Structure 1
Amino acid sequence: MHAATVGVALNQERSPMINRRTLLTRLAAAAALPATLFRASPTAAREKDSQVPGQKAQKGQEQIAMLLYPGFTALDFVGPYHFLAGMGNAKVHLVTNQPDLRPVPSDGVLAVQPTVTMADCPTHLTVLFTPGGTKGTLAAARDGATIDFMRHGASRATYVTSVCSGSLILGVAGALHGKRATSHWSVLPLLSQFGATPERSRIVQDGHVITAAGVSAGIDFGISLVMKLRGKKVAEQRVLLAEYAPEPPLNGGTLETARPEIRELSTASLAEFVADASTLRRWTGEPSK
């Protein structure tokens, strides 16, 4: 019996003559109606499906590891994280290279709360990612435990990725050897010292290795990776939800478009970092057990 029918019957029989047994019978019939006749509350709907509308559930949940180390550049990480964490049916692990789960400071005042240490991170990954930075990146690239983690992860991950100077960490870990790759313009030529072929491009994919150029390129990288993992339709929806339609108030975001005096000023400000980065070399030893 439909719910509306039950309601009408109860109204029609609501009289001094209706007895207790009849009323209980009608209420029991209403309680036995299929759940599909009732509309779920918005809260229940959100709890049931946290994926974006139209997104099909995947057979397996992707495991994504995003490295955090003191001094990483925040936007290198936040741009990709926004898109990867929002695509649904993926587990994003924020992996600290520190001994505990205290917040990891970026190269500004922003700190990020990690979810797992390197020792506890899953070993089989869909995506292994590292952001870039300056001094913090060089420290991570010279940290044996961090490079060990990246070498192990790179040998198993479906995609090995970086944004900005994070490619230096991949280079030291041996993940760029024989690959085309990009990085922040300041250290792009240095990728050759890791056996890579530097390529000036916003995003470069060579096999399972995907690298992105400096800082803001991480947003484009995140979108492109969602498209690989979920398809164009979902990626387009994530772009619209983010209202990603850049209209920079100033031109000059590349070496080619920047004014000469701005190029000189920026190059000089990064000279010490680049000189230090030029001493990095690809680790050729075996990873520890």
Structure 2
Amino acid sequence: MTDTAPTRIVFLLFPGITQLDFTAPAQALSRMPGARLAGAAATREAIVTDSGFAIVPTHDFAACPQADILCVPGGHGVADALGDAEAVDFVARQAAGAQWVTSVCTGAFLLGRAGLLAGRRATTHWAYTHLLPLVGAEPAPGRVVEDGNIVTSGGVTSGLDFALTLIARLRGDAVAQAIQLAIEYDPAPPFAGGHPDHAPAAVTEGLKARVYDAATARMAAALGG
């Protein structure tokens, strides 16, 4: 598709959201011709991110327009958001009318809680992939996994990959490539260790012990698993 008809992109916002899960894809998608972005939460009060600063939603759930693209970011706040019936209902209602339903990182579990991942291939942050069957999903490898109109992406920085993938679907490869060039997304990290497949085992195990053993246990409890 190369048309520039308006495309409404709605991001779910909630306390404890990982800032880059939201802002990375938002930055790329905002440059797509015809893009109209919105950030929705229960109220329009500022949402505190996991980075310590706040994001102000553009809409509350009741006033939010229907999304063409629904994006659900992740973060440690997902475990609490899973118990927020209003947020889960918003995801389900928006997804019913959206052309694309997407997530970044642990946002996949909110899609799952809304009943959207049953029988679907999906991905999430590497530390949580083993929990995907708790929402009926089939874990699949890759930074971006597409299954019909459901697009899930891995942890945090994968949101840029998902955004550029979707822009290419909607506006063509040349537009996506131009946006990638404009934001100078040309990764050359100082270490080849952004995934357990490449990171030193001691680094992976240390990070799991410090952060993710407890975090995944909390997520599993929130999912009832």
TM-score of the aligned structures, taking structure 2 as reference length: 0.95
2:33 to 88, 91, 110: 88
Aligned alpha-carbon RMSD (Å)? 1.5
2:72 to 119, 130, 139: 130
Deviation at 1:88, TM superposition (A): 2.5
Q: Is the 8 A contact 2:80 2:222 kept in 1?
A: no
Residue 57 of structure 1 deviates from its aligned partner by 5.4
* Paired AA for residue 278 in structure 1: A
Cα distance in 2 for partners of 1:211, 1:88 equals 22
Out of 109, 115, 118, the position equivalent to 2:61 is 118
What's the offset of the Cα at 1:102? Answer: 2.2
Unpaired stretches in structure 2, ≥5 consecutive residues: none
Structure 2 residue aligned with 1:218: 159
From 5, 21, 32, the equivalent of 1:76 is 21
Q: Quote the offset at 1:243 in angstroms.
A: 1.1
Q: CA deviation at 1:279?
A: 2.5
Query: For residues 178 and 165 of structure 1, what CA distance do their matches in structure 2 show?
Result: 18
Secondary structure at 2:126 match in 1: coil
Deviation digits for residues 226-280 of structure 1, max 9, x if unmatched?
A: 1111111111110111111110011211111111111111111211110111134
Q: Are 1:182 and 1:202, in contact at CA under 8 Å, matched by a contact in 2?
A: yes
1 or 2 for the larger relative contact order (CA 8 Å, sep ≥6)?
2
Q: Which letter does structure 1 place at the counterpart of 2:94?
A: G
Match for residue 64 of structure 1?
Answer: 9
Written as runs of structure 1 = structure 2, the 5 A alignment for 1:21-60 is 58=4, 60=5
Partner amino acid for 2:50? D
The residue aligned with 1:107 is: 50
Q: Provide the aligned length of Structure 1 versus Structure 2.
A: 223
Name the larger-Rg structure. 1
> Conserved in 2, the CA contact under 8 Å of 1:76 and 1:132?
yes
The 1-side partners of 2:18 and 2:222 are apart by: 19
1:233 to 165, 174, 189: 174
* Superposed structure 1 runs of 4+ greater than 3 Å apart: none
CA contact 2:192–2:199 (8 Å) conserved in 1: yes
**1: distance between equivalents of 2:163 and 2:156?**
12
Partner Cα separation in structure 1 for residue 203 and residue 12 of structure 2: 32
Which of the residues 187, 195, 198 maps onto 2:139? Answer: 198
Alignment map for 1:132-171 (pairs within 5 Å): 132-134=74-76, 136-171=77-112
| Deviation by residue 1:150-203 (Cα, 9 ceiling, x = unmatched) | 111111111110000111111111111110000001111111011110112110
More off after superposition, 270-279 vs 201-210: 270-279
Quote the Cα distance in structure 1 between the aligned partners of 2:85 and 2:179.
37
| Letter of the 1:109 counterpart | G
Q: What percentage of residue pairs aligned between the two structures are identical?
A: 36
Unaligned runs of at least 5 residues, structure 1: 1-55, 283-289
* Whole-angstrom distance in 1 between the partners of 2:32 and 2:133: 34
SS in 2 for 1:176: coil
